[in-house]
A and B are shown apart, each in its own frame.
Chain A
Amino acid sequence: MANGEVTLARLWSWTRQSGAIDWDAAFAESLPRVYNFFRYRVGDGPLAEDLTSITFEKAWRAREQYRQDRSALGTWLFAVARNVAMDHFRSHRPTVPLEEAEELPGGPTPEDLAARRSDHERLGRLLARRPERERELLALKYGAEFTNREIARMTGFSESNVGTILHRAVEALRADWDQGA
């Protein structure tokens, strides 16, 4: 037995924790949120799935370290997801602006052009143009469906600051949209 395994306080926390976490349910509940968080960050496609997989695999390996009395499971999982996103952006900095990237040789196929007509494709492209900070907050708000208060706790911004940044980001998206960008 490990040190302290039979101290009363720890026994209580085991009792509490062993009964409280259903990791299967946690997976089912969290997967769409984490996946969409990455879709709003890196766009649709296999990359969002890859980063989602990395997040869950990291979290699963570290799950015994998770302490319910310190943070909610969602907060803990998204701390992992945000680190995964940060690592990804650190090692995959774009070498050309996203606007230019759309014009890279090869060009869109007729099928691509048809797909891009959809509002969602267009929104995805507009999201990709937003600055990093705005995009992360948009991803947490709309992709992971956190409240402004929860986002404030996770990012260290004040709640009102989160609201302001999100408001400006949505306004900017709307302006781009109206301009037919």
Chain B
Amino acid sequence: MDDRMLHEYRREPDPRFATDLRERLRRLERNRAFPSRRAVRIIAAAAAVAAITVIFAVPSVRVSAQAVLDVFRVKRFAAVEFKESRRDLLESIDKERGFLVFDRQEKILDPGPPTYVASREAAAAPAGFDVRAPRYLPPGMAADSVFVQGAGAARMAVSEEKLRSLLERLDLRDVKVPAGLDGQWVEFRKPPVVMQRFRSERRRAMLLQARSPEITLPAGWNLAQLGEIGLRILGLDPGDAKRIAKATDWRSTLLVPVPMNATSFRQVTVNGQSGLLIMTTGEPAADGKRRERTILMWSTGDRVFFLQGNLDGKELIRMAESVS
């Protein structure tokens, strides 16, 4: 009897037991709405990053001029690199003090949990649009399940005091907190989101689609200036923040923060539309290994798409281009 025998005592589970258990877990997922609710929030989440990026600074016009509102809608995507250490710092500040720059939040419309639907055709009614699907799937991959989450809306009020304190914690002493920002409301609207999952034995993909989320800001805000301050908070140096803020159309560009040391990204074209392809090494899995993920975001007409999977970029783009 030796160490080797102790290792060899291991045995693979009975395949029937493994299949039955997996099926039971799938039923559990369906009954409980959705296996990864965070995933469904991604479009709204990314949109909100852009919104938060643009509300940090001095409005060029007094915010009392609210008769005309600025509305943000996603038309294109752009990546902005940031250090993970900055993200960790912001996360710890957030945990410590609650919202980073807001002090009030009002829920206008609860989206409810994502729910399982029988097919993409069945998703059309709750989503309010004809659901598109890829005509091309990588070999062996098939459609697996469809989920829909309803529309949601909320508004949040900016707190100058919180913003000032945040800038202080980040040692951004050259950034001035504007007057007149306090108590101004920013409204977020997330339309229904449809998520389709695809799988083969070893590969997985997920397509999210929705009409563009909308973020309504008080009129007259100097978005480039606000964006510049948001970028400084993300950790960009003053020169880069100014340059990017100036070159960005803040009413239609969704800024996606990309960790510097774990990912790479590039602009791509999906059926003539500009898209953003991000390759990430992901977090360590149960065995300690990192699983590569590829994420593609693009927009067509009034709709935004988010496709991710453990596929290479070429396959993902091919899937994306076949979406109709």
User: Could you tell me the distance in whole angstroms from the C-beta of A156 to the nearest C-beta in chain B?
Assistant: 20
- Given known pairs A1-B110, A8-B52, A11-B46, the reply for A31 and B10 (CB within 8 Å) is no
Interface contact B1-A17, CB-CB below 8 Å: no
Most chain A CB atoms below 10 A, which of B3, B21, B310: B21
- Given known pairs A12-B87, A18-B41, the reply for A7 and B285 (CB within 8 Å) is no
| Nearest B residue (CB) for A21 | B36
Question: Among B25, B94, B153, which residue has its beta carbon within 8 angstroms of that of A7?
Answer: B94
Q: Does B102 contact A (CB under 8 A)?
A: yes
Interface contact A3-B105, CB-CB below 8 Å: yes
Most chain B CB atoms below 10 A, which of A6, A25, A72: A6
Q: Which residues of A contact B (CB under 8 A)?
A: 1, 3-27, 29-33, 35-36, 39-40, 44, 49, 52-53, 56-57, 60-61, 63-64, 68-69, 72-74, 77, 119-120, 123-124, 126-127, 138, 142-143, 145, 170, 173-174, 177-178
User: Could you tell me the distance in whole angstroms from the C-beta of A42 to the nearest C-beta in chain B?
Assistant: 13
Enumerate chain B residues within 8 angstroms of A119, measured Cβ to Cβ.
Answer: 5
- Given known pairs A40-B9, A63-B35, the reply for A20 and B283 (CB within 8 Å) is yes
Q: Residues of B within 8 Å of A, CB-based: how many?
A: 75
Most chain A CB atoms below 10 A, which of B99, B156, B285, B286: B286
Question: What are 23 A-B pairs with beta-carbon distances under 8 A?
Answer: A1-B153, A4-B105, A5-B41, A6-B52, A7-B99, A9-B91, A9-B93, A12-B49, A12-B91, A15-B42, A16-B283, A20-B283, A20-B293, A31-B18, A36-B11, A49-B14, A53-B21, A56-B21, A60-B29, A61-B28, A72-B285, A120-B9, A123-B1
- Given known pairs A14-B42, A24-B199, A57-B28, the reply for A19 and B2 (CB within 8 Å) is no
